[in-house]
Amino acid sequence: MKSPGAEQWVPHDGGMKKLRAQLPNCRGCELWKDAEQAVAGEGPVRSRMMLVGETPGDHEDKEGHVFVGPAGHLLDKALVEAGIDRSDVYLTNAVKHFRFERQGKRRIHKTPSASQITACHPWLTRELEIVKPALVVVMGSVAAKALLGPSFRVTQQRGERLELPGGQAAVATVHPSAVVRSDEFRRDFARFVDDLRTAVELLG
């Protein structure tokens, strides 16, 4: 069955407070049925930098906050290394509900489908309209598909200056969860930090 998409639930007036209040009502795709809650973006509404990840994980779904699990802890360390204060940036995900499959008592992350990414996109579009960041850090393939199109390859264009359809400057990098799982952790963490430093340089 085709997802109706989030458009009808996204308020097109008012600010972030209204957007956050409406998010729990969203039935734009089927992910709301199994997730604990929709997880809204967080950070100053007038941040110059916005970081966009994939989807809430198990910890985020339970706690209701973005980037509070293992990937979030790694992101915190990388932000410090790159000279970025987490409290200065707006953090969000391309998809607002956790997608998973059960293995015993565990909930194992599943990558959102193309239709789920599309269905949730109006929320991300409205966040961009409200925050108006000067630069967007696109983390991982799901965020890249949402913001840069299905043919974009993070591995080929990471760390480069890009431009989103809305005109914002952007830098693509891997998702921090990929660094957490890496067999070459030191190398990949250093590359991730380098991409964040590039974002800082582009902001000026």
Residue 187 in any domain: the answer is: yes
Is 176 part of a structural domain of the chain?
Answer: yes
pLDDT at 166: 83
- A 10 A CB-CB count for 30 gives 15
Weakly modelled stretches of the chain, pLDDT under 70: 1-2
Q: How many domains are there within the chain?
A: 1
Distance CA 126, CA 140 (A): 20
pTM, two decimals, is 0.95
Q: What are phi and psi of 103, to 5 degrees?
A: -130, 95
Helix (H/G/I), strand (E/B), else coil: 176: helix
Whether 1 is covered by a domain: the verdict is: no
Domain membership of residue 2 (yes or no) is: no
Residue 1, pLDDT score: 54
d(CA 204, CA 186): 27
Answer whether residue 87 is part of any domain.
yes
Question: Is 129 part of any domain?
Answer: yes
CA dihedral 147, 137, 162, 128 (to 10 degrees): 50
For residues 53 and 94, is the Cβ–Cβ distance under 8 A?
A: yes
- Tell me what pLDDT residue 167 has: 87
Q: Is residue 94 part of a domain?
A: yes
Domain range spanning residue 130?
Answer: 7-203
What CATH number corresponds to the domain at position 164? 3.40.470.10
User: 114 lies in a domain?
Assistant: yes
Q: What is the DSSP string of 41-96?
A: -BS-TT-SEEEEES---HHHHHHT-SS-SHHHHHHHHHHHHHT--GGGSEEEESS-
pLDDT of residue 2: 67
pLDDT, one tens digit per residue, over 125-184 is 999 999 999 999 999 999 999 999 999 999 999 999 999 988 899 999 999 999 999 999
8 A C-beta contact, residue 52 and residue 89: no
